[in-house]
């Protein structure tokens, strides 16, 4: 069971428009990683959903959230 789920949204299409299909970089979710590390240090089980790296749609993100079923988002 996951206590906390951090979500890195997929905003590349909005930010880079048609360039996102071939030319936009995918950065590591730095803030999610820092927050997850902090939560882990006090005993929470943490997961990060990186919708940007996986190129997920909003509906796919929602499906993943339902599958993971975290206590907190």
Domain ranges of the chain: 4-68
Handedness of CA 58, 60, 11, 18 (dihedral sign): negative
What is the reported pTM?
0.81
How many residues make up the chain in this entry?
Answer: 73
For residue 12, the Cα-to-chain-centroid distance in whole angstroms is 13
Which residues neighbour 32 within 8 Å (Cβ) at sequence distance 6 or greater?
A: 6, 7, 8, 48, 50
- What local confidence, expressed as pLDDT, does residue 15 receive? 57
Residue 45 CB: number of other CB atoms within 10 A? 13
Segment 24-52, tens digit of pLDDT: 677 899 999 999 999 999 999 999 999 98
């Amino acid at each position: 069971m996951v206590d906390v789920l951090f979500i890195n949204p997929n905003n590349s299409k909005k930010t880079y428009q048609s360039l996102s299909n071939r030319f936009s970089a995918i950065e590591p979710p730095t803030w999610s990683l820092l927050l997850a590390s902090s939560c882990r240090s006090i005993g929470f089980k943490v997961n990060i959903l990186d919708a940007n790296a996986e190129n997920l749609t909003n509906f796919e993100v929602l499906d993943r959230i339902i599958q993971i079923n975290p206590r907190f988002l």
